[in-house]
Amino acid sequence: MHVRPYHDADLDALVGVFTASVHGLGALHYTLEQRSAWAPHAADLDAWRQRLDPLETRLAMVGGTLAGFISWAANGQIEFLYVAPGYGRQGIASTLLQHAESALVAQGIHTFSTAASLVAQPFFARHGFHIVEEQRVERRGVTFRRYAMQKTLA
């Protein structure tokens, strides 16, 4: 695996990983209605471009295939961390999180936060994040449960 910066030409593959991850890995925790509202199969690519534009994004590549990605804001907020279903439990998410944390620490940021899904919460907890609060959010008229989480490095 190697980690590289995101480029605009990667958008289709990135959205594909996001959608596959939400629908594949999220199936045990979220209903089809929730997953479809969270990650519609007909993605709005312009909205994705706008969402990714202010973020730093890194891709995990395995043999030329996008296996996962992470995006973060300059304030330490981890906005996206998704791994393609076929690449779970191979250290990809951990490696991506490590890249983001290192980049943020180099910029003087020592507190990281995220809004973790029910799927991602145990992963973030294993990496030192703690739950700040349980949240209920709405996407396309459908309500979801997630966790605001935070981690501070000494």
What DSSP letter does each residue of 34-72 carry, written as one string?
HHHHHS-SS--HHHHHHHHTTSEEEEEEETTEEEEEEEE
- Sorted by where each starts, the structural domains of the chain and their CATH numbers stand as 2-152 (3.40.630.30)
Average pLDDT, the chain: 95
Q: 86, exposed or middle or buried, with CB in 10 Å at 0-12, 13-18, 19+? A: exposed
Does the pLDDT of residue 17 top 80, yes or no?
A: yes
pLDDT in tens, 18-28: 999 999 988 88
Rg of the Cα trace of the chain?
15
DSSP 107: T
DSSP 27: G
pLDDT in tens, 29-38: 999 999 999 9
pLDDT in tens, 53-107: 999 999 999 999 999 999 999 999 999 999 999 998 889 999 999 999 999 999 9
pLDDT in tens, 92-151: 999 999 999 999 999 999 999 999 999 999 999 999 999 999 999 998 899 999 999 999
- What is the per-residue pLDDT for 88? 85
Nearest residue to 22 via CA among 13, 34, 12, 10: 34
Q: How many CA atoms lie within 13 A of 62 on its CB side?
A: 14
- What is the per-residue pLDDT for 89? 85
- What is the per-residue pLDDT for 6? 98
- What is the per-residue pLDDT for 18? 96
Nearest residue to 15 via CA among 56, 38, 124, 136: 38
**Using CA atoms, how far apart are residues 84 and 66, in angstroms rounded to an integer?**
8
Give every CB contact of residue 84 below 8 A, 6+ residues apart in sequence. 17, 20, 21, 65, 66, 67, 68
Does the pLDDT of residue 154 top 80, yes or no?
A: no
CB atoms within 10 A of CB 47: 9
